[in-house]
Amino acid sequence: MAPGTKKRETRKSLRQSGWITLDGGFAARPCVVEDMSSSGAKITIQDNNTLPAKLRLAFSRDARTGRACEVVWREGRTFGVKFVR
């Protein structure tokens, strides 16, 4: 591998239903988690509404679960997020 190139983490293909929650847990919106790694995920939303820069991604509608994320790229209805602490 050439110096300075970053190896992508192994992503696990999921195609699993998930929930995006905003601002303290309300406005839960369904999504599909296309794939996920230890550092982030690729998600697809059904509607045309945009996502804020910060959100929570969970596999249940319970806002207390899930992980804090930041959007790092957008392509139509598909978004890349990185997990933050």
Indicate yes or no: pTM above 0.75: yes
* Burial class (CB within 10 angstroms; exposed 0-12, middle 13-18, buried 19+) of 57: buried
Q: Is the dihedral of CA 11, 16, 19, 20 positive or negative?
A: positive
pLDDT digits (tens), the chain, 85 positions: 455 555 566 888 889 999 998 766 667 889 999 999 999 999 999 887 778 899 999 988 776 778 999 999 999 999 999 999 8
- What confidence score (pLDDT) does residue 60 get? 84
- What confidence score (pLDDT) does residue 7 get? 59
> Where do the domains of the chain lie, and which CATH numbers do they carry?
12-83 (2.40.10.430)
Indicate the residue type of 57. Answer: L
